[in-house]
Amino acid sequence: MEIKIPYGKTYQTLDIKEEYQLVESKIQELGGGADGDRIVLEAMASPIASPKLSELAAGKKNAVVIISDHTRPVPSKQIIPHMLAELRAGNPDIDITLLVATGCHRGTTPEELVHKLGEEIASRERIVVHDCDSSPLTELGVLPSGARLVVNSLVANAELVVSEGFIEPHFFAGFSGGRKSILPGVCSRVTVLGNHCADFIDDPKSRMGVIDGNPINRDMECAARMAKLAYIVNVVVNEAHEVVAAFAGDAIEAHHAGCAYLAKYCEADPAYKADIVITSNGGAPLDQNVYQAVKGLTTAADAAGEDGALIICAECADGIGGDSFYKALSECSTPEELLEEIRRVPMDETVPDQWQYQILARILEKHHVYFVTRPELEKEITAMKMEYAPSLEEAYARARALRGASARVTVIPNGVSLIIKQ
Query: What would the mean pLDDT of 106-123 be, rounded to a whole number?
Result: 94
Tell me the one-letter amino acid at 356: Q
pLDDT recorded at residue 222: 98
Domain closes at, from 220, 241, 265: 265
In the predicted structure, residue 293 carries a pLDDT above the cut 80: yes
Q: How many domains does the chain have?
A: 2
- Burial string for 15-27 (b: 16+ CB within 10 Å, else e) reads ebeeebbebebeb
Q: In terms of domains, do 251 and 149 share one?
A: yes
In the predicted structure, residue 32 carries a pLDDT above the cut 80: no
Domain closes at, from 265, 300, 323: 265
105 is catalytic: yes
Q: In terms of domains, do 167 and 278 share one?
A: no
Mean of per-residue pLDDT scores for the chain: 95
pLDDT recorded at residue 241: 82
* Among the listed residues 190, 204, 211, the one whose alpha carbon sits nearest the alpha carbon of residue 146: 190
Q: In terms of domains, do 120 and 165 share one?
A: yes
**The dihedral of CA 354, 412, 177, 216: what is its sign?**
negative
pLDDT recorded at residue 72: 80
CB-hemisphere CA count at 13 Å for 4? 6
Q: Which of these ranges, 115-119, 182-186, 236-240, has the smallest mean pLDDT?
A: 236-240
Q: In terms of domains, do 59 and 157 share one?
A: yes
pLDDT-based confidence at 354, cuts 50/70/90?
very high
Domain closes at, from 227, 249, 265: 265
pLDDT digits 0-9 by tens, 358-389: 999 999 999 999 999 999 999 999 999 999 99
Q: In terms of domains, do 307 and 257 share one?
A: no
Q: In terms of domains, do 189 and 274 share one?
A: no
Number of other residues whose CB lies within 10 A of the CB of residue 238: 17
Its domain, for residue 374, covers: 2-23+270-420
Among residues 70, 82, 130, 170, the one annotated as catalytic is 170
Q: In terms of domains, do 89 and 216 share one?
A: yes
In the predicted structure, residue 239 carries a pLDDT above the cut 80: no
Q: Which of these ranges, 25-29, 186-190, 225-229, has the smallest mean pLDDT?
A: 25-29
pLDDT recorded at residue 27: 83
pLDDT recorded at residue 417: 87
* Residue 143 vs residues 61, 231, 260, 382: alpha-carbon distances, Å: 28, 21, 25, 40
What CATH number did the domain enclosing 396 receive? 3.90.226.30
Q: In terms of domains, do 192 and 292 share one?
A: no
Q: Contact, 283 vs 312, CB < 8 A?
A: no
Q: At a CB cut-off of 8 Å and minimum separation 6, what does 265 contact?
A: 25, 26, 27, 29, 30
* Among the listed residues 120, 129, 137, the one whose alpha carbon sits nearest the alpha carbon of residue 98: 129
Q: In terms of domains, do 231 and 370 share one?
A: no
What CATH number did the domain enclosing 223 receive? 3.40.50.11440
Query: What would the mean pLDDT of 51-64 be, rounded to a whole number?
Result: 98
Decide the pairing of beta strands 368-372 and 243-249: unpaired
Q: In terms of domains, do 60 and 191 share one?
A: yes
Q: Look up the pTM and report it.
A: 0.91
* Among the listed residues 397, 409, 402, the one whose alpha carbon sits nearest the alpha carbon of residue 372: 397
Q: In terms of domains, do 9 and 34 share one?
A: no
Q: In terms of domains, do 146 and 252 share one?
A: yes
Q: Which helix (H) or strand (E) holds 110?
A: helix 110-117
